[in-house]
């Protein structure tokens, strides 16, 4: 009989994701409200770009030690402190301080959000349900990451039309920060670990020797490659918006609608993939592999299709399909951790390695894509799409490897008996 996930677990997963994303929205506010942020602070484009570079480098470095902390100390306490701290920094950013202070805040924020909170929150998500129910928990996480931010972002955009830019941005940042803290507290209150998962997590104390073993697990790096593939390919999806606008002369408003839909595709696709995997009795990882292959086919189509206004509808269909596949894989990227049976006691350390690999492209990929577009104009997009195909293919191969490992693990007891 299939075990059900309790309502408290769903609420906890939703609030963890919402708190985390509200915290991320605080630090990435200027990417969503660029003009308003620049007007309020008076910073140059170069200064704003440097903020994101510093943030990306600091975050990438902190994923690894953060994983070790998640296995060494209480993941619930770390998660709660980190999420509240990351949210609280938004109140200071909302005062629009001088550039040196803002630069310091962009260095401090990843200490709370990445070092202290990121890996523990993923471990908590694994603790609140059985491993065979992780797809449902990760799907709820996708809702928590997307729905609240979508609603508050729309509210923030409305405020920009009603108030002065600096005032509207300040109110929006206050909302992000307040909701991050509130959701973190609700997540802590509703946290209720599954006894078997909790005992597995406490089986042995993690030391540097155990941590070194995690670095040698090929499954961990393969899952990292799946995450890298989905996250980096999502950048390729981002560039489909200006590509369509340039080739088909779409208005900014029309292309923005496509971008918003694409960005929130995980809301639709994640539960569909979970449902397909459960009904077909397949590992979620296998369905994710098929999704990455389908997304790659869509980008191959972009490479082959001529830039012709007569095929706009076909291009939009490929845009939406690739977004559905990529964003759902990104939303469910940590499900393979439980499917391949990474030991619970080192889950935090494994997540640290996986996250570092998944998000390392923040440091270089956007700069490469920007260079291609500046150098080759429309042909630059084809370079981006070509790279995206290769990255998606690598992710699909990693999924195949994980599926092979899952089959081997399930067959092991049978082989042992025979």
Place 179 in a pLDDT band, splitting at 50, 70 and 90: very high
The residue with tokens 């994101």 is 52
Place 417 in a pLDDT band, splitting at 50, 70 and 90: very low
Judge whether 138 and 107 are in contact, CB under 8 Å: no
- The pLDDT of residue 118 is 95
pLDDT in tens, 89-107: 999 999 999 999 999 999 9
- % of the chain with per-residue pLDDT over 90: 46
- % of the chain with per-residue pLDDT over 70: 91
What is the chain's Cα-based Rg? 21
383-391 long-range contacts, CB within 8 A, separation 24+: 384/236, 384/239, 385/236, 385/299, 385/302, 385/303, 386/299, 386/303, 387/236, 388/232, 388/233, 388/236, 388/296, 388/299, 389/296, 389/299, 389/300, 389/303, 391/228, 391/229, 391/232, 391/233, 391/236
Structure-block tokens of residue 395? 């992710």
For the entire predicted model, the pTM comes to 0.84
Report how far residue 47's alpha carbon sits from residue 34's, in angstroms, rounded to the nearest whole number: 12
Average pLDDT over residues 353-369: 87
| Helices of type H across 264-377 | 266-279, 284-304, 312-331, 335-339, 347-359, 365-376
Q: In CATH terms, are 1-202 and 204-412 the same topology?
A: yes
**pLDDT at 304 > cutoff 60:** yes
Structure-block tokens of residue 13? 């997963």
pLDDT in tens, 200-222: 877 666 677 877 889 999 999 99
Q: DSSP code of 249? A: -
Q: Specify the CATH superfamily of domain 204-412.
A: MFS general substrate transporter like domains (1.20.1250.20)
**CATH says 1-202 is which class?**
mainly alpha
- The pLDDT of residue 33 is 75
Enumerate the domain spans of the chain. Answer: 1-202, 204-412
């Amino acid at each position: 009989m299939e075990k059900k996930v309790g309502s408290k677990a769903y609420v906890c997963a939703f609030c963890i994701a919402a708190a985390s994303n509200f915290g991320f929205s605080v630090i990435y506010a200027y990417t969503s409200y660029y003009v308003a942020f620049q007007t309020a602070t008076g910073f140059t484009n170069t200064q704003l770009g440097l903020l994101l570079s510093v943030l990306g480098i600091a975050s990438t470095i902190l994923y690894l030690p953060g994983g070790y902390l998640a296995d060494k100390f209480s993941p619930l306490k770390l998660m709660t402190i980190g999420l509240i701290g990351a949210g609280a920094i938004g109140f200071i950013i909302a005062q629009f301080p001088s550039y040196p202070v803002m630069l310091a805040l962009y260095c401090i924020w990843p200490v709370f959000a990445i070092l202290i909170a990121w890996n523990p929150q993923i471990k908590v998500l694994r603790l609140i349900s059985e491993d065979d129910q992780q797809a449902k928990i990760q799907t709820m996480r996708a809702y928590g990451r997307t729905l609240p931010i979508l609603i508050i972002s729309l509210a923030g955009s409305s405020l920009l039309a009603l108030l002065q830019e600096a005032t509207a941005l300040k109110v929006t940042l206050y909302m992000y920060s307040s909701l991050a803290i509130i959701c973190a507290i609700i997540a802590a209150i509703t946290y209720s670990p599954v006894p078997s998962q909790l005992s597995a997590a406490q089986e042995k104390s993690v030391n540097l020797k155990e941590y070194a073993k995690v670095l040698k697990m090929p499954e961990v790096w393969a899952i990292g490659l799946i995450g890298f593939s989905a996250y980096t390919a999502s950048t390729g999806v981002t560039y489909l918006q200006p590509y369509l606008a340039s080739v088909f002369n779409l208005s900014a408003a029309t292309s923005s609608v496509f971008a918003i839909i694409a960005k929130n595709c995980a809301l639709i696709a994640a539960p569909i993939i979970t449902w397909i995997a459960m009904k077909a009795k397949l590992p979620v990882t296998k369905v994710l592999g098929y999704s990455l292959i389908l997304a790659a086919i869509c980008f191959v189509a972009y490479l082959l299709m001529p830039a012709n206004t007569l095929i706009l509808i076909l291009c939009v269909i490929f845009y939406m399909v690739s977004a559905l596949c990529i964003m759902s894989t990104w939303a469910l990227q940590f499900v393979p951790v439980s499917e391949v049976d990474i030991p619970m006691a080192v889950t935090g350390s494994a997540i640290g390695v996986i996250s570092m690999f998944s998000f390392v492209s923040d440091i270089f990929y956007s700069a490469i894509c920007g260079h291609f577009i500046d150098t080759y104009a429309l042909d630059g997009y084809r370079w981006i799409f070509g790279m995206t195909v290769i990255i998606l293919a690598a992710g699909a191969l990693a999924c195949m490897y994980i599926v092979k490992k899952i089959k081997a693990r399930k067959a092991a007891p049978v082989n042992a008996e025979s």
